[in-house]
Amino acid sequence: MGELPLVLKAKDISQYLNVSIRFAYEIMEHNDFPTIRIGRSKRVMKQDFLNWIEKKKVS
């Protein structure tokens, strides 16, 4: 995948994680996920997403 945009959509998340778009939307519903809601749209800032991924790493 190329460079991530500044603000990610479910499609971007699904491609980055290699999961379905449906699963990406499920991830965006988790309480610890930094979702931004704009009306009915869901987005996440790139850096917040990358930080979330880093926190999910198993030590």
For 3-52, the pLDDT digits (tens) are: 899 999 999 999 999 999 999 999 999 999 999 999 999 999 999 999 99
Q: Edge-to-edge, what's the strand order for the sheet holding 7-8?
A: 7-8, 41-45, 36-38
The answer as to CATH 1.10.10 being correct for domain 7-56 is yes
The pTM of this model reads 0.87
d(CA 57, CA 11): 22
d(CA 37, CA 10): 12
